[in-house]
Chains A and B, each alone.
Chain A
Amino acid sequence: MTQLPPPSAKKLGLVIDLDTCVGCHACVVSCKGWNTENYGAPLSDQDAYGANPSGTFLNRVHSYEVQPEQGEAQLIHFPKSCLHCEDAPCVTVCPTGASYKRAEDGIVLVNESDCIGCGLCAWACPYGARELDAKEGVMKKCTLCVDRIYNENLPEEDRQPACVRTCPSGARHFGDLGDENSDVSKLVAERGGFDLMPEQGTKPVNKYLPPRPKDEMPEFDVLAPYLEPIASDGKGFVGWLDKALSAMPGGAK
């Protein structure tokens, strides 16, 4: 049913730490691996070894440069997958009922055997979290690894999304964002977690943690003042020396 269920008490989702992510793309690879080998249509590639490779991914890592008014630019790696929005516009546009939001834990899923591949849900998602698989002709999106998190055949520590399990820098956290005492909710409160494109009114469950302010290196070297760079418009002796040295063969012009 593409009518949204009433907001669930349990809201499973991810918290992504933009301070910690090193942009290694390990989550991208593990996501593609798990979701190709397990539930649903595999994530296909086209021309994988050719000149124009392209393929379906449920999680992608962008990198942005942010230039503050003053000081150095910062490079921020930015993983992005479905945010399992509470007011998911992708669900209500679906004509077949293939897209739905689970009443019990808020996970947004696609029933692939009902999907006609019209692509409308991908149009409705502001985040680019849905990709129509070019080979299977059905819509693919992050399932929050619904086939891992409840899977009793897996050891306890593996019952979390593949991306979270894989991340070597601990930049991804999984939990119940509907429970304000959960670890993820506390993390969001502590670090000022935010929504992407809040003005779109989707109410994403996933949150992002902002990069921490960069340290300022204090000037503490007592000799530094004596090593000031030579003025380039040197006059007198320094100016003469500069000209004389530059005139020598191999000298700087």
Chain B
Amino acid sequence: MHPASSVILFNTFSGLGFGLLFWLGMGAIVPMGSSAFIWFAIAYILAVGGLIASTFHLGHPERAIKAFSQWKTSWLSREGICAVFALIVMAIYGAGLVFFETPLALLGIIGGIASLGVVFTTSMIYAQMKTVPRWRHWTTPAMYLTLSIGGGALLSGQVLIASVLLIVGALLQVFAWMTGDTRFKASGTNMETATGLGHIGKVRAFEPPHTGTNYLMREFVHQVGRKHAEKLRIITIGLAFVLPVILLLLPFSHVLAAFAVLSHIAGVLTLRWLFFAQAEHVVGLYYGKR
């Protein structure tokens, strides 16, 4: 799949932002007054900034309001509704802390759970795709949720919880990669089923339908850069998980904590890039590619 930068930014930063909102809502940290304002501003800039970035790849962002209508079947629609709900509830909860120094605990918990709901519905957009066998697995939502609450814990300075979640995240990611690498083959979709010509013999793409490229090739058949995948995987594990945990375990300082956050963000950006670049869509088979 084409690793569009708007979608990578959305997944990385909204994930972090909603993760932070989750912890704020759950009362893991209960800042008051102007400090609450700063905490909520950071969370909203990340969450909303990511959401805005995600609209950049739309052909008609001005019609985005229509995307709230099909929640009965569409995960994208559910994600939109969940995001608006979480952002409104958490804004009220945040206002309570900033202006009245009053935590409306129940509202916070509802908003916190809804924030996780956003991350879950996002992950299901990918996990539902039968056409992309690598994504269609429980590790996809598990990874999204772990990264989000792990990153949120890191941002909110909860050293122990963040360390544990980051270690779990690393193990989960390695597992997702290892099992994901064989899932396309295991899906049973191949050039023979794609063309229905397998009963005659081995099928090879002889001539594509066009001399140039097209939307399908640009969007779904992304082979460049995959050859560096192994290196990028190591970089991802190092930056997103290992280095932040080491920095967290050192005696606490704000500089080290800031480095841990930056390293984590750089690592997650790489992870998201790989998530798309390594995902093979079955339509590539019609072009003899993957």
Contact B59–A136 (Cβ < 8 Å): yes
* B64 sits at the interface (CB 8 A): yes
The reply to whether B76 and A123 contact each other, CB–CB distance below 8 Å, is: no
Closest residue of A by beta carbon distance from B54: A118
Evaluate contact between A64 and B59: CB separation under 8 angstroms: no
Pick the contact of A114: B66, B76, B77 (CB < 8 A).
B66
Give chain A interface residues in 174-222, CB to chain B under 8 Å: 194-201, 208, 210-211
Q: Which of A43-63 contact B (CB under 8 A)?
A: 52-57, 60-63
Partner of A116, one of B59, B191, B201: B59
Tell me the chain B residues, 162-215 only, with Cβ under 8 Å from chain A: 187-189, 191, 193-197, 199-215
Cα A74 to Cα B206 in complex, Å, equals 11
Are B196 and A195 touching (Cβ within 8 A)? yes
CB–CB B131/A123 < 8 A: yes
Nearest-neighbour CB distance to chain A for B208, whole angstroms, equals: 7
Asked if A196 and B67 make an inter-chain contact with CB atoms under 8 angstroms apart, the answer reads: no
Contact segment of A93-101, A165-173, A223-231, A232-240:
A93-101
Contacts of B277 in A (CB 8 A): none
A66 at interface by CB-CB < 8 Å: yes
In contact, A96 and B69 (Cβ under 8 angstroms): yes
- Cα distance, A54 to B211, chains bound together (Å): 9
Give the chain B neighbours of A132 by CB distance below 8 A: 59, 215, 219
Query: By the criterion CB–CB under 8 Å, are B76 and A95 in contact?
Result: yes
Give chain A residues whose Cβ lies under 8 Å from the Cβ of B69.
95-97
A78 to B205, CA, bound (A): 10
- The 8 A CB mask of A61-72 against B (1 = contact, 0 = none) is 111111111000
- When distances are taken between beta carbons in the complex, the residues of chain B under 8 Å from A119 are 57, 59, 219
Does A76 interact with chain B (Cβ within 8 Å)?
yes
| Residues of B35-80 contacting chain A, CB below 8 A | 57-61, 63-64, 66-70, 72-77, 80
Contact in complex: A96, B201 (CB < 8 Å): no
Residue of A nearest to B221 (CB): A128
Question: A75 at the A/B interface (Cβ < 8 Å)?
Answer: yes
The total of chain B residues at the interface (CB under 8 A) is: 60
B214 nearest in chain A by CB position: A54
CB A16 to nearest CB in B, in angstroms, measures: 11
Across-interface contacts of A162 in B (CB, < 8 A): none
**Is the Cβ of B189 less than 8 Å from the Cβ of A199?**
yes
- Interchain CA distance A197-B187 in the complex, whole Å: 11
B23: min CB distance to chain A, Å: 29
Residues of chain B in range 78-92 having any CB-CB distance to chain A below 8 Å: 80
Report the Cα distance A172→B63, complex, angstroms.
38
Q: Could you count the A-B residue pairs with CB atoms below 8 Å apart for me: how many are there?
A: 197
Is the CB–CB distance between A93 and B215 below 8 Å? Answer: no
- A62-B286, A95-B69 given; A131·B201 CB < 8 A: no
- In the complex, A4 Cα to B26 Cα: how many Å? 39
Q: State whether the Cβ of A22 lies closer than 8 Å to any Cβ in chain B.
A: no
Identify which of B188, B194, B202 gathers the most chain A CB atoms within 10 Å of its CB.
B194
Known contacts A57-B214, A93-B73, A96-B63: does B197 contact A116 (CB below 8 Å)?
no
Q: Which of B125, B130, B203 contacts A200 (CB 8 A)?
A: B130
**Contact between A64 and B197, CB atoms less than 8 A apart:** yes
| B207 contact set on A, CB distance < 8 A | 62-63
**Is the beta-carbon distance between B59 and A117 smaller than 8 angstroms?**
yes
Question: Given A116-B63, A210-B196, are A95 and B74 also a contact pair (CB < 8 Å)?
Answer: yes
A126 contacts B131, CB within 8 Å? yes
Question: Distance in Å from the Cβ of B186 to the closest Cβ of chain A?
Answer: 11
The residue on A at minimum CB distance from B187 is A199
Residues of chain A within 8 A of B128, CB atoms compared = 93
For B210, the closest partner residue in chain A by CB is: A60
Q: Provided the pairs A53-B212, A64-B195, A131-B214 are in contact, do residues A197 and B189 lie with their beta carbons within 8 angstroms?
A: yes
- Partner of B206 from A18, A57, A64, A91 at Cβ < 8 Å: A64
Residues in B with CB closer than 8 Å to A76 are 195, 197
A143 at the interface (CB under 8 A from B): no
Which of A65, A120, A126, A199 has the most B CB atoms < 10 Å from its CB?
Answer: A126
The answer to whether A67 touches B204 (Cβ under 8 A) is: yes
The smallest beta-carbon distance between B192 and chain A, in angstroms, is: 9
Q: Contacts A62-B207, A76-B197 given: A96-B70 contact, CB under 8 Å?
A: yes
Q: Is the CB of A124 within 8 A of B131?
A: yes
Q: Is A89 an interface residue (CB 8 A)?
A: yes
Assuming A75-B206, A195-B196, is B74 touching A115 (CB within 8 A)?
no
Contact of A198 among B59, B191, B193 (CB under 8 A): B193
Residue pairs across A and B with Cβ atoms less than 8 A apart, 6 shown, are A68-B201, A95-B68, A119-B219, A124-B131, A126-B189, A199-B189
> Contact residues of B with A, CB < 8 Å?
1, 57-61, 63-64, 66-70, 72-77, 80, 125, 128-132, 187-189, 191, 193-197, 199-216, 219-220, 281-283, 286-287
If A80-B286, A118-B67 are given as contacts, then 13 extra A-B residue pairs at C-beta distance below 8 Å, sorted by A number, are A2-B70, A62-B286, A64-B195, A64-B197, A73-B201, A95-B68, A116-B60, A119-B219, A126-B282, A132-B59, A132-B215, A138-B60, A196-B194
